[in-house]
């Protein structure tokens, strides 16, 4: 069945069918670098949301009863379909969210790997049993059998920047765990999400197991989140949206992956050349539009001049321009995002920061910008730009670096660059972050590692096994043995 009505217009996926919304409305998806409409997605109505959730509820028990081996076959098939569609999907990701083709392709391959690993992990998750007599006064005649059961219907809401990978990172564990899914992609990312679901549909997955709801979060988001038919929400996106969502979603388990302001802490004893490679890769790939991008450098003042010179040299090598040319620095997702980034740079410059490189803009293409002598009075020291700018804050001690790192509202990841492993562990222990990377850039992968945001960076843990756990609950059956 075709997922499109014409060259540009996509249908949405309800109960196993690609259909046109009764709203009669579509949303134009404008490419961030072509600046033209590359597709249209359906603006789904509340009644259609009800229908999708109803169809997910209807089939959930059957899906739960379906053996793990059979569920595994569908998901393996899905991964295979993604691999055979990798060029086609990568092209769509590139056009829709402006990621360069090679990185878009890597995203699709990573997604297939993620799905396969999820299947393997789910097949190897086992319950446990407890005998009653280990508790005072308990008896051997009581045996608790603890198993994991699905939660029901999972609402998966994903962001624009990894429109396939971060969506599948919710859908795959939800399905393997026996849940059914309502998937709401970011609007800018909804075509990529639709292609991913086209691959899932090709696996022959039973109808109704998943529905894809397209439409603006500002219009249908609250309705979805507050819907009584939803049993769990897995959300990835901005902190403000996540905080609103957490207020609206009552009495359902919630996993939130939100924004970050990951610091790269550079000690005096660090191998600066190595640190610079990690920092520049971490800060600037996909124009810094990664939750785990290094978003500030806290460097010891004694090596700051040398570090800044090396950073400048490395940043100057970055390719800038169209994602079609494989550029690292590409136009940001929209003009508004670029305005926001420019505002942070302007504020820093006004307050005395030194522009070492960049501060140049062509519409939504922000040139890689390195700001030195950034102080804690400047917004760029605290706010998440989601763009290619790197503020350098000079510090006098480890203690000062730790203090500034921890004063952030965010707590996703942090990097520590040092040749002293004891110091590295000591600093890591004091940092308020979900993960600390020692002598490496902040990053999510490998995707089976637990991935955690604390404070304004989230709630709950992702990573294959943790996602499977968060999408199930424990259930205890007690056998009372007659003696």
Q: Which two tokens stand for residue 155?
A: 């609402």
Is 11 or 184 the residue whose CB approaches ligand NAP more closely?
184
Sheet of 142-150: strand order equals 128-131, 142-150, 472-480
Per-residue HEC secondary structure of 154-183 comes to: EEEECCCCCCCHHHHHHHHHHHHCCCEEEE
Q: Which of 341, 346, 348 is nearest to 368 (CA)?
A: 341
Scanning residues 424 to 443, which ones bind ligand G3H (CB under 6 A)? 443
Residue 443's binding partner out of ligand NAP, ligand G3H, none, with CB under 5 to 8 Å set by partner kind: ligand G3H
Q: What's the min distance (Å) between Cβ of 414 and ligand G3H?
A: 13
Q: Does 259 bind ligand NAP (CB under 6 A)?
A: yes
Name the nearest CA neighbour of 264 among 274, 250, 278: 278
Dihedral (Cα; 403, 408, 413, 418), 10-degree rounding: -30
Q: Which is nearer to ligand G3H, 42 or 165 (CB)?
A: 165
295 binds ligand G3H (CB under 6 A): no
Output 31 or 161, the one with its CB closest to ligand G3H.
Answer: 161
261 binds ligand G3H (CB under 6 A): no
Query: Residue 259 binds which one of ligand NAP, ligand G3H, none, with CB within 5 to 8 A depending on kind?
Result: ligand NAP
Tokens of 97: 């969210």
Which residues are 447's β-sheet partners?
Answer: none
Stretch that binds ligand NAP, among 128-136, 230-238, 424-432, 470-478 (CB under 6 A): 230-238
Answer for which of 112, 190, 291, 436 binds ligand G3H (CB under 6 A) is: 291
User: Nearest distance from residue 449's CB to ligand NAP, in Å?
Assistant: 12
At its nearest, how many Å lie between ligand G3H and the CB of residue 167?
A: 12
Q: Which two tokens stand for residue 95?
A: 């056009």
Q: Under the criterion CB under 6 A, does residue 159 sit at the interface with ligand NAP? A: yes
- Residue 283 Cβ vs ligand NAP, minimum distance, rounded to whole Å: 14
Q: Which residues contact 61 (CB under 8 A, 6 or more apart)?
A: none
Rounded-to-integer distance, Cα 391 and Cα 372, Å: 6
**Among residues 257, 314, 384, 443, which one is catalytic?**
257
**Helix (H), strand (E) counts: the chain:** 14, 26
Determine how β-strand 294-300 pairs with β-strand 128-131. unpaired
Q: What share of the chain is helix, strand, coil (3-state, %, to 5)?
A: 40, 25, 35
The closest alpha carbon to 424, from 442, 436, 411, 407, belongs to 436
Decide: helix, strand or coil at residue 26: strand
Contact residue for ligand NAP among 33, 286, 382, 386 (CB under 6 A): 386
If we measure between CA atoms, which residue out of 91, 85, 96, 74 comes closest to residue 27?
96
Residues between 153 and 212 that touch ligand G3H (CB under 6 A): 161-162
Instruction: Identify which of residues 168 and 308 has a Cβ nearer to ligand G3H in the complex.
Output: 168
- Name the residue nearer to ligand NAP (CB basis): 4 or 216: 216
**What does the alpha-carbon distance between residue 314 and residue 281 come to, in Å, rounded to a whole number?**
9
* Strands (E) located in 70-227: 128-131, 142-150, 153-157, 180-184, 210-212
What is the total count of residues that contact ligand G3H (CB under 6 A)? 8
Residues in 270-299 that interact with ligand NAP by CB under 6 A: 291
Instruction: Return the range that interacts with ligand NAP (CB under 6 A); candidates 62-70, 201-209, 241-249, 388-396.
Output: 241-249
* C-alpha dihedral sign at 75, 79, 85, 90: positive
Min dist. Cβ of residue 293 to ligand NAP (A): 8
In the residue annotation, 257 being an active-site residue is answered as yes
* x-marked contacts with ligand NAP along 162-201 as a string, rule CB under 6 A: ----x-----------------xxxx--------------
Q: Is 292 one of the binding residues for ligand G3H (CB under 6 A)?
A: yes
Give the footprint of ligand NAP on this chain (CB under 6 A). 157-161, 166, 184-187, 216-218, 221-222, 225, 236-238, 241, 244-245, 257-260, 291, 384, 386, 412, 453, 457-458
User: What are the residue numbers of the active site?
Assistant: 257
């Amino acid at each position: 069945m075709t997922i499109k009505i014409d060259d540009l217009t996509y249908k949405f996926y309800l109960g196993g069918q690609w259909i046109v919304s009764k709203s009669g409305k579509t949303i134009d998806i404008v490419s961030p670098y072509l600046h033209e409409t590359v597709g249209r997605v359906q603006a789904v109505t509340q009644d259609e949301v009800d229908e999708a959730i109803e169809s997910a509820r209807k089939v959930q028990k059957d899906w739960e009863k379906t053996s793990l081996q059979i569920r595994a076959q569908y998901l393996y098939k899905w991964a295979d379909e993604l691999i055979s569609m990798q060029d086609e999907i990568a092209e769509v990701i590139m056009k829709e969210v402006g990621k360069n083709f090679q990185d878009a392709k890597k995203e699709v391959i990573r997604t297939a790997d993620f799905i396969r690993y999820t299947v393997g992990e789910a097949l190897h998750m086992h319950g446990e049993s407890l005998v009653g007599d280990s508790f005072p006064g308990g008896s051997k005649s009581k045996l608790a059998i603890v198993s994991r059961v699905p939660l029901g219907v999972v609402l998966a809401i994903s962001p624009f920047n990894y429109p396939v990978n971060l969506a599948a990172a919710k859908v795959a564990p939800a399905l393997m765990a026996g849940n059914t899914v309502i998937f709401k992609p970011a609007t800018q990312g909804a075509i990529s999400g639709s292609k991913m679901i086209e691959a899932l549909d090709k696996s022959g997955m039973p109808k109704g197991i998943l529905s894809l709801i397209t439409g603006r979060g500002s219009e249908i988001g609250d309705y979805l989140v507050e819907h009584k038919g939803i049993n769990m929400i897995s959300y990835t996106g901005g902190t403000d949206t996540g905080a609103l969502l957490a207020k609206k979603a009552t009495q359902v388990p919630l996993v939130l992956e939100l924004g970050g302001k990951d610091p790269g802490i550079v000690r005096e004893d660090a191998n600066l050349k190595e640190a610079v490679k990690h920092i520049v890769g971490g800060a600037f790939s996909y124009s810094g539009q990664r939750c785990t991008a290094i978003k500030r450098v806290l460097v010891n003042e004694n090596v700051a001049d040398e570090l800044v010179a090396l950073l400048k040299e490395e940043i100057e090598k970055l390719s800038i321009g169209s994602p079609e040319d494989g550029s690292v620095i590409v136009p940001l997702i929209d003009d508004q995002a670029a305005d926001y980034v420019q505002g942070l740079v302007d504020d820093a410059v006004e307050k005395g920061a030194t522009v070492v490189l960049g501060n140049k803009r062509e519409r939504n293409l922000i040139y890689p910008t390195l700001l030195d002598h950034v102080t804690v009075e400047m917004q760029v020291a605290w706010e998440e730009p989601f763009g290619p700018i790197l503020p350098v804050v000079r510090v006098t001690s480890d203690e000062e670096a730790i203090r500034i790192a921890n004063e952030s509202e965010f707590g996703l990841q942090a990097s520590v660059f040092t040749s002293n492993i004891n110091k590295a562990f000591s600093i890591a222990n004091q940092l308020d972050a979900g993960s600390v990377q020692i002598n490496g850039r902040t990053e999510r992968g490998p995707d089976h590692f637990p991935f955690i945001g604390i404070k304004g960076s989230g709630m709950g843990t992702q990573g294959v096994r943790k996602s499977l756990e968060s999408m199930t609950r424990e259930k205890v059956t007690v056998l009372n043995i007659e003696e």
